[in-house]
Amino acid sequence: MSVPNQETLVKYLNPMRHAILHARALAWQKKSHEEIADLLDAIHNVPEMLIKWESCDENFLKEKLESYDRKWAKGEGFSIKKVLESNQ
């Protein structure tokens, strides 16, 4: 088992943290269950892929994270892609 360097960990754990916080806010606001499910679906593979970094398909990982944005990120709303890019 190998893990990525600290820069890569921050790159992917920070969007995960923001996504969890956003999902919690949506739940407290009693917002769309579908949006919460899509957001958690986008991030649920991150820990395992970071633990198995040597076999991780980074393009697949980014695609999963950005899948949420295509459906839900509108205007100035929450965007996993923006958080991901702010760490690069």
Mean pLDDT to the nearest integer, 18-29? 94
State pTM to two decimals.
0.86
| Residue 46 in domain | yes
Kindly state whether residue 1 falls inside one of the protein's structural domains: no
- Averaged pLDDT, 23-37: 92
Cα–Cα dist 28/3, whole Å: 34
The total number of structural domains that make up the chain:
1
Identify the CA nearest to 78 among candidates 47, 32, 46, 9: 32
User: For residue 12, what are the domain limits?
Assistant: 6-86
In whole angstroms, give the CA distance from residue 43 to residue 62.
10
